[in-house]
Amino acid sequence: MKRSLRGLFLVLVLLILYLPILILVVYSFTTSTQIGAIRGFSLHNYVTLFTTPELRDMITGTLALALGSAVIATVLGTMGAIGAFYSSRRTGAVISTVNQIPVVNADVVTGFSICILLVVVFHISKDSYIPLVAGHVTLCAPFVFLSVMPRIRQMDPSIYEAALDLGATPFDALMQIVIPQIVPGIISGFALAITLSLDDYFIATYTKPAMFDTISTYVVNATKGSQTTIKTALWALSTVIFVIVVLIVIGMNLRSIRQERAEKTGRRLHV
């Protein structure tokens, strides 16, 4: 009895989580123009999604922005974490605290203030993409810092000194010894940066060039508009994004399971 109740609750929770997405998935394969009666099966939404130049440019633009700002944010965030770790205790604590503020801060505030500073104060044109990229880097770098820091803390601090002791310059020691040790943190920071950039709406609205749209800003505008073909094509886009995310999550879990197994056998060998 108790057991079935527990099962029911679980199903209910999963339903609440996944039903909205599933509805979109189902409707993306139909000819319907609005959620309601389902008419025939059709792939026309997917055809529109991949053939309309406007949609294609928007998707590639968003991806390019995400990749570009994630790369910059990863470099900056990693450097920041390494710097904070090897600073004196007080400086390190100050850097960590300063890093926390943008994480907690509302995106609207970040986007708006970047817009004010770069566009209004420094007269940098939004069309240069500089405010947009700067905004996304500001958004992502603190998260990279946060995902790299625990890896550095876990690292045996004496291996850096060991490298110096064996004749490596600080730069060589960093590149050959420290970076390889914290790669998992850097990769997860990079992945996090990409998701954050893809997710962002507020910063982009304040800083993007007028003729450029990210998926988020585009979707918000399109749902306000009246072009039904575009609207239903966005269902297809949502489905594609959802499927990709599911695949990535499954892939990552499989990888970590495999790693755990490898570590266990490694330990057995060790004994």
Concatenating the DSSP letter of every residue in 26-64 gives HHHTBS-SSSSS---B--HHHHHHHH-HHHHHHHHHHHH
Helix (H) / strand (E) containing 200: none
Question: Helices (H) and strands (E) in the chain — how many of each?
Answer: 12, 0
Return the residue of 158, 210, 226, 227 that touches other proteins, per CB under 8 A.
Answer: 158
Kindly indicate which of the ranges 73-81, 170-178, 196-204, 249-257 contains the residues binding other proteins, using the contact rule CB under 8 A. 170-178
Half-sphere exposure of 15 (CA within 13 A, CB side): 6
Nearest to 195 by CA among 150, 253, 249: 249
Helices (H), 210-227: 215-224
Helix (H) / strand (E) containing 125: none
Q: Is 121 one of the binding residues for other proteins (CB under 8 A)?
A: no
Nearest to 72 by CA among 10, 164, 139: 139
Q: Is 193 one of the binding residues for other proteins (CB under 8 A)?
A: no
**Residue 155, phi-psi category: left (phi > 0), alpha (psi -120 to 50), beta (remainder):** beta
Half-sphere exposure of 72 (CA within 13 A, CB side): 16
Residue nearer to other proteins on the CB measure, 2 or 268: 268
Return the residue of 168, 174, 191, 240 that touches other proteins, per CB under 8 A.
Answer: 168
Return the residue of 1, 53, 156, 227 that touches other proteins, per CB under 8 A.
Answer: 156
Q: Is 260 one of the binding residues for other proteins (CB under 8 A)?
A: no
Kindly indicate which of the ranges 73-81, 136-144, 169-177, 227-235 contains the residues binding other proteins, using the contact rule CB under 8 A. 169-177
Kindly indicate which of the ranges 96-104, 127-135, 137-145, 163-171 contains the residues binding other proteins, using the contact rule CB under 8 A. 163-171
Kindly indicate which of the ranges 120-128, 134-142, 153-161, 247-255 contains the residues binding other proteins, using the contact rule CB under 8 A. 153-161
From residue 160, alpha-carbon distances to 95, 105, 144, 176, 182 in Å are 21, 34, 21, 10, 12
Q: Is 89 one of the binding residues for other proteins (CB under 8 A)?
A: yes
Q: Is 79 one of the binding residues for other proteins (CB under 8 A)?
A: no
Min dist CB 271 to other proteins, Å, is 8
Min dist CB 162 to other proteins, Å, is 4
Lookup: tokens for 43: 């792939």
Return the residue of 172, 228, 249, 253 that touches other proteins, per CB under 8 A.
Answer: 172
Q: Is 53 one of the binding residues for other proteins (CB under 8 A)?
A: no
Q: Is 224 one of the binding residues for other proteins (CB under 8 A)?
A: no
What residue ranges bind other proteins (CB under 8 A)? 88-90, 156, 158-159, 161-170, 172, 176-177, 180-181, 266-267, 269-270
